[in-house]
Structure 1
Amino acid sequence: EENKLSPLADRVVASLNEAERLRIRKPQEEIISDLAEIKIKCLEWLQIQADLFITIIKLYSDYR
C-alpha cells in the first residue's frame, strides 16, 4: 500500500528546501516563521487523521 504520508512529506521537504534556498536572502526570523507554519500545517493534518481514525473506530464498533 502506498504511504499516505508521502504527499505531506513531499510538501514539507519542498518547503524546507525552499527555506534553505532563500536562507541567504531571508532574515532568520522569517525562516523560523516559515518553519513554524509548516509545523502548524503538519499538526493540523495529524489532527484530521486522528479524527478520521476515531470516526472509523466508532463506525466499526457500531457495525459490530
Structure 2
Amino acid sequence: MAKAKGKPENFDNPPSKELTDQLSFRVTKEMKEEVKAQDDPPQFCRDAIQKALDEKKGRQQ
C-alpha cells in the first residue's frame, strides 16, 4: 500500500494545491501529546493553521 505522502487527493485539500512544503516549530510536551491523540494529526494541524489564518485575514479587512 502506497503512502499518502504529499498527494492532495489523500487529504481534505483542493486537487490544485500540492502538499510539497514542510513546516516545523516547537510546542510544549502537552500540546504535542494532544495533537498526536487526534485521529489525523497532520490534517488537524493544517486545519488549525488555516482557521487561524482565515480569522486573521478577516480581522485585517
- Give me the TM-score of the superposition, normalised by structure 2: 0.41
More helix by share: 1
Larger Rg: 1
Higher relative contact order (CA 8 A, sep 6+): 1
Using structure 1 for the length normalisation, give the TM-score: 0.40
